[in-house]
């Protein structure tokens, strides 16, 4: 694609409404992803259901948002 064509597409896209730009951005990003791995989707569904069951039965270890943020911050800083 030539630079001129890219600039024309960009200009047209920026003239869209916010909702239209969001939809276009979603479609463009989705087009970069490979095909969905159906096994991974099934495994994530099973994992989510397992974790939800732990929360419902009271066997899950829950953390406050503040504790989670601190643990994440520490992890990112290599602590």
Query: For the chain, what is the domain count?
Result: 2
Residue with the larger pLDDT of the pair 27 and 36 = 27
**What six digits make up the tokens of 19?**
């909702």
Contacts of 51 (CB under 8 A, 6+ apart): 60
User: Where in the sequence is the domain holding 61, given as residue range(s)?
Assistant: 38-76
Q: Does residue 46 share a domain with residue 60?
A: yes
* Ramachandran category for residue 12: left, alpha or beta (phi over 0 → left; psi -120 to 50 → alpha): alpha
What's the pLDDT score for residue 1?
78
Q: Does residue 72 share a domain with residue 47?
A: yes
Quick one: average pLDDT of 33-53? 90
This prediction's pTM? 0.45
Contacts of 1 (CB under 8 A, 6+ apart): 9
Q: Does residue 42 share a domain with residue 72?
A: yes
Q: Does residue 48 share a domain with residue 27?
A: no
What confidence category does residue 68 fall into, taking pLDDT thresholds of 50, 70 and 90?
Answer: very high
Q: Is the pLDDT of residue 64 over 80?
A: yes
Q: Is the pLDDT of residue 51 over 90?
A: yes
């Amino acid at each position: 694609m030539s630079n001129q064509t890219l600039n024309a597409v960009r200009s047209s896209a920026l003239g869209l409404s916010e909702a239209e730009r969001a939809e276009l951005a979603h479609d463009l990003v989705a087009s970069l992803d490979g095909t969905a791995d159906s096994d991974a989707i099934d495994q994530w569904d099973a994992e989510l259901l397992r974790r939800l069951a732990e929360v419902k039965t009271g066997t899950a270890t829950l953390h406050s948002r503040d504790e989670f943020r601190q643990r994440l911050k520490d992890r990112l800083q290599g602590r």
